[in-house]
Chains A and B, each alone.
Chain A
């Protein structure tokens, strides 16, 4: 009795992992299974398990495919019989939607932000860092489904705050960045930053000394000009939108 199976997809290599008769089966050319079982006694069986030599890789082209084919068994004194089976390869996706608020114009896509997924501290590569385009989208696909990752903004566009890391779970169903299925959607907002510079300068040099002290809306100091001086200058960077108060003291 013989078994022949052109296992699916030549991109995948297959191997025999178990067989009832050691050496009866072999795989040639990566995917052609042939078993020569010899005489199979009545009411007896022969089993073989085959599997791909390497796991489905990140970003695999097999994502979304169905591995489907037919196996045949034949014997000199029996009719050929066949059976088929299929395996669906599904992969998850995560889509990051990056935006920022623009005064008078609401949320707008933000390009140039780079995001990286991490799993137990290790960057998921491929695809590595993915940068938002003009549409503000950075998309990851070819991921294991329903798996939690840490999403980190690893490149922050100049003039904006970086978003805090967050845990994100990939889609539970097959999805990709080309429109197949529904990736997990993650909205990430970047906040525009403002720099402040203030200076007190005596009209008659040295006639007055001054200080400037600034606090946020909670009264927390955010910057000052230091000891009384002429001129007195304060430089505060990366101010997020909000209300701040600066106290100016001119002496005498």
Chain B
């Protein structure tokens, strides 16, 4: 089921000139949901923001909690927005609906599994009639649990010991900050 609704090709107008500084959006036809465009193993739930407004929105799922902050802005190219997650979630994919179709920002495919905790300048497809982004109809955040990065160190208390000494190791595991926006 995942990504079954993707229809954009290199010849598809939806795929034209929609570059961002990091992850390139992919045009998808119609009004896809997270389940239409995201592998079920890659996300936990969908958070749909409609109408699209700036703000911080609480999120929860099976005991996990967090929030996503959306900041909408009007750019020379049209409406765009930034997002930033806090807490237990990241965005595996983001569907940005505007006009007849949508843009898919796929952070899994871009190599940022389990997802991105923040990104900027997301927008709907381009309206070919004016070469500006369609207005934001709604945003679907397809949320995954934020991944942790562990760091482990094992050190000998004394690297050289002799008779009468005890061998000892110190082991420390640190959970690093959650994964950041793709860079």
Q: A residues touching B (Cβ–Cβ < 8 Å)?
A: 1, 3, 5, 7, 12, 17, 37, 40-52, 54-58, 60, 63, 67, 70-75, 77-92, 142-145
Contact = CB atoms under 8 A, between A and B. Distances in A.
Contacts, number: 144
A70 to B, nearest CB: 8
A89 B176 contact: no
State the main secondary structure of chain A at its contact with B: strand
B169 A46 contact: no
Interface string B148-182: 11111111111111111111111111111110000
A89 B161 contact: yes
B85 to A, nearest CB: 12
A144 B168 contact: no
A87 B167 contact: yes
Interface residues of B, number: 35
A43 B150 contact: no
B114 interface: yes
Contacts of A49: 157, 168-171
Given A49-B170, A50-B168, A56-B164, A43 B177 contact: yes
A40 to B, nearest CB: 4
B32 interface: no
A54 B168 CA distance: 11
Contacts of A78: 147-150, 175
Nearest to A54: B166
A145 B178 contact: no
A89 B173 CA distance: 26
Contacts of B154: 5, 70-71, 83-85
A50 B176 contact: no
